[in-house]
Amino acid sequence: MNSRRDFLQKLAASVIAFPMLSTEAISCIENADKKNYDGPPLRVAIMGLGSYGTRVADAMRDCKRARLVGVVSGTPAKITNWQSKYNIPEKNCYSYETFDTIKDNPDIDVVYVTTPNGLHHDNVIRAAKAGKHVICEKPMALNAKEGQEMVDACKKANVKLLVGYRMHFEPKTLEIIRMRKDGELGKILFFQGLSGFTIGDPTQWRLNKALAGGGSLMDIGIYSINGARYMIGEEPVWVTAEETKTNPQKFKPGVDETIQFQLGFPSGAVASCLSTYSMNNLDRFFLNAEKGFAELQPATGYGPIKGRTSKGELTQPHITHQTVQMDEMAGIILDGKQPIVPVDGEEGVRDLKIIDAIYQACSTGKKIALK
């Protein structure tokens, strides 16, 4: 890992070399490295100590406004390992059986839920009832009904609910959104989102209907759904979709292998997207408009993101996504900061409504209207 001094030197060089960095991108960078921030940190407990929880924990080492202080896990050995690795005190460690007592711990502000999709609903509601703010990984729930119940529970408990949309803080992504908002691309006409990879171990939870809620669409396809919305800047009004399954032994009933789906928007713009667990080299967004285009490839991976527009290459520097995300979410929770692209529970429900409609379109073969 580079030292902070090396990081700042590279950042300075980037700003000098590329003076046209957008305001949004520069804001993200500044928030990721605030030299003089001396206010209270956002004190985070991670629930679910798997691979992604570990990625978030490692990224938080470089945060200026967020600090990992607690863990929740059903595996005692993982808790012991994390205590040593991240210097977590015993009083901030919980099992799923003891989790509800977190309500009596004033040293934890927020619980970050990184458990399998099928557990999100209950985990989030338990955290809210314990009086803790919640960050939940995407998809927020198995369907829109569950998602709305989570939103309602957090509102009732007067706690914030955020969703782990790390791309909403990514500088190259934000630059394209700025260009679209400022009219530099003109009327938006078309979006293409390709999201997929070849999944491995057939026994993993992502291929378990009860835990995953589906297949590729719930895991990787949600990036194209969400991307279509923030790239076009509208909410879709209709959906069509078709599922393809070539390996029914690996992809059991209810676990989708590949789905092609289309979204229609009020302005007349359309999106054509692919979600798959059976093809690699699929991480691309393309936005076509009357005055130009924008492309990201890779578009949603852990980085660095690469992109270009009709005006040239995007040159905003890469910072670990989860580091930026957690510092920005600290600002949202502690200061009431409003992000450029929403990351609240309502945003998560919007994606879930589209996912519900895509699955309905696959099963019926019909064009589904979105309310």
State pLDDT tens for residues 9-61. Answer: 444 444 434 444 444 444 444 444 444 577 899 999 999 999 999 999 999 99
Kindly list the domain boundaries of the chain, sorted by start residue: 37-164, 167-318+345-369
Rounded CA-CA distance 25/35 in Å is 18
Residue with tokens 């520069």: 26
Task: Say if residue 230 is exposed, middle or buried (CB neighbours under 10 Å; 0-12, 13-18, 19+).
Answer: buried
303 vs 245, more confident: 245
- Give residue 264's pLDDT: 99
- Give residue 41's pLDDT: 97
Q: Do 167-318+345-369 and 37-164 fall under one CATH topology?
A: no
CATH of domain 167-318+345-369: 3.30.360.10
Q: Which residue type does 11 have?
A: L
- Predicted TM-score (pTM) of the model is 0.90
- Give residue 14's pLDDT: 44
- Give residue 191's pLDDT: 99
* Per annotation, catalytic residue among 86, 94, 112, 223: 223
Domain made up of 37-164: CATH architecture? 3-Layer(aba) Sandwich (3.40)
* Per annotation, catalytic residue among 132, 138, 160, 172: 138
Task: Indicate the pLDDT class of residue 254, thresholds 50, 70 and 90.
Answer: very high
| Mean pLDDT, the chain, whole residue set | 93
Helix axis angle, 222-232 relative to 345-364, nearest 10°? 120
Q: Six-digit token pair at 66?
A: 């967020």
- Give residue 38's pLDDT: 77
- Give residue 36's pLDDT: 57
Active site residue 223: yes
Q: What is the pLDDT of residues 97-118, one digit of tens each?
A: 999 999 999 999 999 999 999 9
